[in-house]
Chains A and B, each alone.
Chain A
Amino acid sequence: MKKAVLQLETLVCPSCSMKIEGALKSITGIDKESISVLFNASKVKLSFDETQVNVDAMKAAINKVGFEVLKMQVKE
């Protein structure tokens, strides 16, 4: 398992967080319990299995619900 921190464009509505969480939950390889969308910091933190999924897939999923990903960081 690795940890990812995604910096998004500024989030302005609390329901945005629900959408982003929903979009990420449907991806296999992401630990659903670990997803936390920081509304005020406009960041997403999560753990994922690097053999099943990569950050680009997460970025695509977030783009699809209408949000831009500005920066991605992966930690051990």
Chain B
Amino acid sequence: MERIVNKIQALIFKHKNTITFISGTLILVAYASSFLFKNDELFTFALIIASMLGVLPIALQAIQALKVKVISIDVLVTVAVIAAFLIQEYQESAIVTFLFLFGSFLEAKTLNTTRKAIQSLLSLAPLTALRIKDDQSFEEVSVDEIELNDLCLVKTGSNIPVDGIVISGSGVVNEASISGESMPVSKTSGDWVYAGTILDNGTLTIQTQRVGEDTTFGKIIELVEEAQDSKTTTQRFIDRFSRIYTPLVLLLSFLVWLLTQDIETAIIILVLGCPGALVIGVPVSAVAGIGNGAQHGVLFKGSEVVQTLSQVDTVVFDKTGTLTQGQPEVIEDYTYDDDEQLLQSLIVSIERESNHPLAQALINHMKDAAVLPVHSMEVIQGEGLVAQVNDITVIIGNMACMTRFNVNFTPSQQQTLEHLQSQGSSIVLVAINQQLKAMFGLQDPLRPHVKEDLIQLRRSGIKSLILLSGDHEQSVQRVAQELGLDEAHASMLPQDKSTYIQHLQNQGKKIAFVGDGINDSPSLALADIGIAMGSGTDVAIETSDVVLMKSDFKHLVHAIGLSKAMMSNMTQNIVIAIGVVLFLLANVFLSEWMNMSIGMLVHELSILVVIVNGMRLLNYQKGVKS
């Protein structure tokens, strides 16, 4: 018996759309026969059938809800329709059921559009892989069957099935699903490739390192899925509210009926009280907004994070390297020797032996210099080095190093030195035989467009930009001045940074801490929002609240702008939903024209309005417009 019931039930749900269509057609037939042929019997008959057919799926849903002790919207509508039917208001019962069914059909359609952002990501998930067998032939298998260290073949145009290392072949890979950046990256032996990225060109053999949910792509998908369904405090409140709200509407309508003996008013209240737009409004904004972020390389850990980020007024950068390219360049050079070629050769040959960060910059600066054998080299910690090349003793280092070896400076050299110092450059000095032979000013250039992006940040409501750096004063001040930062503090240890963040929070500031997500975890945890910038590494995903897949400040601008857009979108939807219910309820008592059908129509329209309003977030583009 139960099995038959279940079967009928399944059949009705499966053909819900057909039922909606038939019920709509019957209503049209009813009105046509009434107006064209003045046939009132057919009119009533068609409406009765439409009502009975239409209420079936709604009533079944209501019963299921009641079974698990939930008074859902279906329950309200079912009671209202049955009551209308019993008092022979067939027009009302038919139209209300049809509108409710048609409304949920449209709801499902539009909801799918709001989920499109994540679905287009999901569709990149690899399903099959070409596994290479011991005899070098390959077979197509489901990705679930691939195990650690299995070799996979990837051909042009196909998805990379697993995270792994390229062992042979080469190709160009589109990593947009991981980095949010559409510029293809070339890969050869030894490079790491990610599942869910696409091989645009070439053939690769890769050795599997991680599969399925353990891949970076799998983690991103899980993060986004969880985030879309996570709830803000407001939303949790709405959920709790609607749980007691629907029974209250039922009670209210019952009371109205008891007091006024007016069934019609009682059932109008049932229909008008449906909280449809309220329960769907906020989740729709969340799903569309978080989906938009995922498509643009911005991952939010949840709706709560979005809410907090939208309130941030202070952005703290964790080190100079977040704002600069991290690779110093020679910006000015001065030489004081007749044989410049030899001088360059000497410097380059010695710097090639050094692993000091500035050494590479000097080598890059003098690419064409010939390399000579270095006979001996002695490093003076924190100052520089002394080396022997072709019986020439060369000293390379900072001012302290020159003082140690009593190197002489002419007055004009002294002036140049002061000029370089005033610029905030790092300075490298070269001396031979106690005579200064060369002077280099080096700077770590700013990342491209940082300045414009920071201006954008200020426009979107960020009041102060602060740099906490472990670097020395001069280079920090240079960056701060060039970018117009509000505060910049140099020579800070990780614990100084967290103390400072606490100090800012005590002043009532809401702080976003931007870093690479690997170091400075105490500060990352302490700040109201931790933003990891750079890559979707596991550590970054673990420790931060927002992950920016690329080290590009336009993504930060996008993240903050999007969070604000999402919050105002949610507020709009709540206002629309509550406004509509209040408006309708007021009109039950204040106007003549209110009836069940109009109430249901306005309700379904308001649901569509909030969904469409939420969908606008899918197109939010600020900051990442190319």
Q: Which residues of A contact B (CB under 8 A)?
A: 10, 12-15, 18-19, 21-23, 25-26, 36-41, 43, 63-66
Contact = CB atoms under 8 A, between A and B. Distances in A.
B4 to A, nearest CB: 14
A38 B68 contact: no
Contact of B228 (A12, A21, A37, A41): A41
A16 to B, nearest CB: 9
Interface string B240-264: 0001000000000000000000000
A64 B225 CA distance: 26
Given A15-B70, A15-B279, A23-B68, A40 B115 contact: yes
Contact of A66 (B13, B118, B279): B13
Nearest to A21: B68
B61 interface: yes
A-B complex: 3 closest residue pairs judged by Cβ atoms:
A22-B68, A12-B108, A41-B225
Contact of A19 (B65, B108, B283): B65
B73 interface: yes
A29 to B, nearest CB: 17
B347 to A, nearest CB: 59
B73 A65 contact: no
Contact of A41 (B64, B65, B112, B229): B229
7 contacts: A13-B73, A13-B104, A19-B70, A21-B68, A22-B67, A39-B229, A63-B6
A15 B72 contact: yes
B145 interface: no
B528 interface: no
B111 A12 contact: yes
A7 to B, nearest CB: 11
A26 B68 contact: yes
Contacts of B225: 38, 40-41, 43
Contacts of A63: 6
Nearest to B286: A40
Contacts of B68: 18-19, 21-23, 25-26, 65
A36 B287 CA distance: 17
Nearest to A36: B229
Interface residues of B, number: 32
A40 B229 contact: yes
Contacts of A39: 229, 283
Given A19-B68, A40-B287, 8 more contacts: A12-B107, A14-B279, A23-B68, A38-B229, A39-B229, A40-B283, A41-B225, A66-B9
A40 B280 CA distance: 11
B307 to A, nearest CB: 17
A44 B61 CA distance: 20
B226 interface: yes
A19 B72 contact: yes
Nearest to B68: A22
A12 B110 CA distance: 10
Interface in B335-363: none
B369 interface: no
Given A14-B280, A39-B283, A66 B64 contact: yes
A38 to B, nearest CB: 4
A12 B104 CA distance: 8
Interface string B218-231: 00000001101100
B283 A18 contact: no
Nearest to B70: A18
A39 B118 CA distance: 13
B118 A40 contact: yes
B56 to A, nearest CB: 13
B367 interface: no
B286 to A, nearest CB: 8
B595 to A, nearest CB: 25
B60 interface: yes
Contacts of A23: 68
B60 A66 contact: yes
A60 to B, nearest CB: 10
Nearest to B282: A14
Contacts of A65: 64, 67-68
Contacts of B118: 40-41
Interface string B1-20: 00000100110010000000
A19 B111 contact: no
Nearest to B110: A12
B270 to A, nearest CB: 16
A38 B70 contact: no
Interface string B27-71: 000000000000000000000000000000000110011011110
B70 A22 contact: yes
Nearest to B229: A38
Interface in B273-304: 279-280, 283, 286-287
B163 interface: no
Contacts of B6: 63-64
B575 to A, nearest CB: 19
A74 B13 CA distance: 28
Interface in B90-136: 104, 107-108, 111-112, 115, 118
